[in-house]
Structure 1
């Protein structure tokens, strides 16, 4: 698979995985679950990180983009009130929070890189199987279709009054 065909998929995967793993890692480290405002900030961060990686020839920045996305997602989640109670930590993450976000980034980078490498072989297998299952046309439908009933022409009957036969004025040439 070429980098250009994988780029939109990589960008979408990075954006989705950034949001999902940030919420999971944040919750596992005791940060709580996000409310509406935190989710809004998280969506903005995820779209931005996904868009940065959705360009061809950017597979080398996958892990740094995910790490940066986790950092920005942590900040977005920390700025908001979690589950109706005040957030239990400051903007500076704890050691457990850093470990969960870093582990989530590494796992996500490995999964996205593996999916990117397997996309080409899997889709070629699916195309080959679908080609075997799709019946080919038998060729009997080649030619003209003749009708046994003649349809009356409406030219000159219905639209004669609506269509003007006059062309543009002579001065237009």
Structure 2
């Protein structure tokens, strides 16, 4: 069974892999994805997110997430290039240019640090939110100190001895 941390980590890694690979690819003058390239990038993001959500002992470390995200960035780059046949015909190679590789690595590093920070802050932040939103607990009263207060009004009976009539008013003649 997966922990909530692992599920959130997998979703965060998959989503940031897709969004950052498309953004870094576009910033380095690689263009934005067409329909088939976008589907391939989404598949890569789902795969990287599922692999990073695999349960393991302890929390994810920055180098481990960085390796997964860099792999995801370069797999996304290949998906973006292969998914756009016009780019292949106009000289866009499968191997990224140095500027594009630098953008992909920088985006991966920043995202890995942010995902690890979010995973570490998930527990304390949810504890604060739970403590603020939960209703206060009732204090336990020792049995000898409980005082029963008599009700000033008579209580209604719990059982109705007669049925409630469903008959309406007479119809006009």
TM-score tier by shorter-chain length is 0.7 to 0.9
Q: What does the per-residue CA deviation read over 1:26-82, in whole Å, with 9 as the maximum and x for residues that have no partner?
A: 000000011110110011100000000112226142111101000100000011228
Distance 1:151 1:23 in 2: 70
Aligned to 1:167: none
Aligned to 1:42: 41
CA contact (8 A) 2:9 2:52 kept: yes
Q: What does the per-residue CA deviation read over 1:65-104, in whole Å, with 9 as the maximum and x for residues that have no partner?
A: 101000100000011228xx53552101100000000000
Alignment of 1:107-122 (within 5 A): 107-122=110-125
Distance 1:120 1:72 in 2: 32
Q: Where does structure 1 differ by over 6 angstroms across 4 or more consecutive aligned residues?
A: none
Aligned to 1:105: 108
- When structure 1 is superposed on structure 2, of 53-62 and 71-80 the one drifting more is 53-62
For structure 2, list consecutive stretches of 5 or more residues without a partner in the other structure. Answer: 139-156, 165-173
| Residue 94, structure 1, aligned to residue 97, structure 2 | yes
Alignment of 1:1-173 (within 5 A): 4-57=3-56, 59-60=60-61, 61-81=64-84, 86=87, 89-131=92-134, 134=135, 146-148=158-160
Change (3 A) 1:135 1:23: same
Q: Please give the TM-score of this superposition, normalised by the length of structure 1.
A: 0.73
CA contact (8 A) 2:66 2:109 kept: yes
Distance 1:36 1:27 in 2: 15
Q: What count of residue pairs does the alignment treat as equivalent?
A: 139
